[in-house]
Amino acid sequence: MGKKIIVLGGDGFCGWPTALHLSMNGYDVIIVDNLSRRKIDLDLGTNSLTPISSMETRLKRWEKETGKAIKFYNFDVAKNYHRMFSLLKEEEPDAIVHFAEQRAAPYSMRDSVCKRYTVDNNLNATHNVLCAIEQSELDIHLVHLGTMGVYGYETTGLTIPEGYLPVQVKKSDKSVVEFDILYPPEPGSIYHMTKTQDALFFYFYNKNNGIRITDLHQGIVWGTSTEETKLHEELINRFDYDGDYGTVLNRFLMQSVIGHPLTVYGSGGQTRAFIHLQDTVRCIKIAIENPPKPGDKVDIFNQATETHTILDLAEKISDLTGIKVRYYNNPRAEALKNDLIVARDKFLALGLNPTTLSEGLLEEVKEITEKYKDRIIKDKIVTVSTWSAKRKVDTVGSDKPVLE
């Protein structure tokens, strides 16, 4: 057996294909998940577009297809500290990949219950993992999934560096001191705020206890299948299309299949960074294979392969499918438009060969949406969560950009 990896949140959209990719590549994989994401679907009355199997069925099928076993533990990382700690002592993993957080910005902004849940869950999950690694006295490399959103989306004209900003400060004697600081956080939602606070936990435990940490600032993930999830229908990955959890490109593809107008918020001039799910799983394997050395500071990568404006994406899909773009009031408090230039040299230097948006891949996602379109609950498509009470939900939209 290869190195042992614990995947926290291994039942989720990124975690499940990552667990399979690592297992396929010879790692001994253990999944921890409290299945909270499945419970949130029930609470919201929504569903994954794809019919995901139970964890038990998934793992039996994986073993049947590949001969490889993955262990699964169902517990809450944010609440069950002692289970987390004892698992580390029992299994002595080489690395932990941490996906176990509430990850939807709109969900985190719904109401006070969702805000408080997101903060309690995400901050306690991250802190429990760090504290358990320290208490275990094991040398475990932590790989965390953060987000490009921690940098904010203001147009600065700068290329956003990989985590650290070199600064020069003039001292009182006029000499200049140079050092790197964490790029100033600019969270745009409660969810993003938890990710910026995670970064301080990482900074502290790395400095104080020497824990080796890689923080991956990931772009918006699109696609749904990877080489491994395609092996059998019981291995299918989740596909979120609803107004809270659906990510923009997957939502546009789903909307085009059922003839729903493409839901662009505001002007559509917001530029975002993207990555295909197949590259997500490759990047995580690369991060595990290239841990920071003892004594290194937190290693931060920008895990994104391309940037686009939301309107560019919508027009691309519209050209392919004939489905029209429709503009809706923006539920988010954000700039009408922004530029986004992102440094992403580190993964390229480590051998990532990026998958970019291509018609072939868009077709592949459309095939999945076409196959399961009868499962779509149509009244869950439009986002109802707004960033403040004065922003009104818009279920009708308009032909013209909304330039608030």
Ligand X SMILES: NC(=O)c1ccc[n+]([C@@H]2O[C@H](COP(=O)([O-])OP(=O)(O)OC[C@H]3O[C@@H](n4cnc5c(N)ncnc54)[C@H](O)[C@@H]3O)[C@@H](O)[C@H]2O)c1
Site for ligand X in 140-199 (CB under 6 A): 145, 147
d(CA 265, CA 273) in angstroms, rounded, equals: 17
Site for ligand X in 76-95 (CB under 6 A): 76-78
Catalytic residue among 107, 153, 183, 191: 191
Residue 306 φ/ψ region, left for φ over 0, alpha for ψ in the -120 to 50 degree band, beta for the rest = beta
Tokens of 34: 């409290």
- Residue 206 found at the interface with ligand X (CB under 6 A): no
Rounded least distance, CB 174 to ligand X, Å:
43
Nearest residue to ligand X, scored by beta-carbon proximity: 12
Out of 23, 36, 47, 369, the only residue in the binding site for ligand X (CB under 6 A) is 36
| Nearest residue (CB) to ligand X, 125 versus 311 | 125
Catalytic residue among 50, 118, 147, 247: 147
- Catalytic residue check, 195: yes
What minimum distance in Å lies between the beta carbon of 220 and ligand X? 5
Identify the residue among 70, 87, 125, 376 touching ligand X (CB under 6 A): 125
Q: Is the Cβ of residue 128 or residue 386 nearer to ligand X in the bound state?
A: 128
Measure the CA–CA gap between 397 and 383, rounded to whole angstroms: 12
The verdict on whether 271 is a catalytic residue reads no
Encoded amino acid at 256, one letter: S
Question: Among candidates 239, 240, 238, 243, which has minimal Cα distance to 379?
Answer: 243
Report how far apart, in Å, the C-alpha atoms of 320 and of each of 194, 257, 324, 364, 365 are. 37, 11, 11, 13, 13
Q: Which of the 8 DSSP states describes residue 302?
A: E
Please, what is the minimum distance in Å from the beta carbon of residue 283 to ligand X? 11
- Cβ neighbors of 321 (< 8 A, separation 6 or more) are 256, 257, 366
Q: Given the DSSP bridges, would you call strands 271-276 and 306-309 parallel, antiparallel or unpaired?
A: antiparallel
What DSSP character marks residue 127?
A: H
Distance of CA 169 to the CA centre of its chain: 34
Distance between CA 5 and CA 319 in Å, rounded? 43
Q: Per CB under 6 A, which region of 35-43, 338-346, 349-357, 367-375 contacts ligand X?
A: 35-43
Q: What is the dihedral of CA 331, 335, 337, 343, to 10 degrees?
A: -110
* Bridge partner residues of 181 (DSSP): 165
String of contacts with ligand X for each residue 215-234, x by CB under 6 A: ---x-xx-------------
Q: Give yes or no: 390 in active site.
A: no
To ligand X, the closest distance from the beta carbon of 38 in angstroms equals 7
Site string for ligand X, 4-23 (x = CB under 6 A): -----x-xxxxx--------
Nearer to ligand X, 8 or 140 (CB): 8
Positions marked active-site: 147, 191, 195
Task: List residues binding ligand X (CB under 6 A).
Answer: 9, 11-15, 32-37, 76-78, 99-101, 103, 121, 125, 145, 147, 218, 220-221, 247
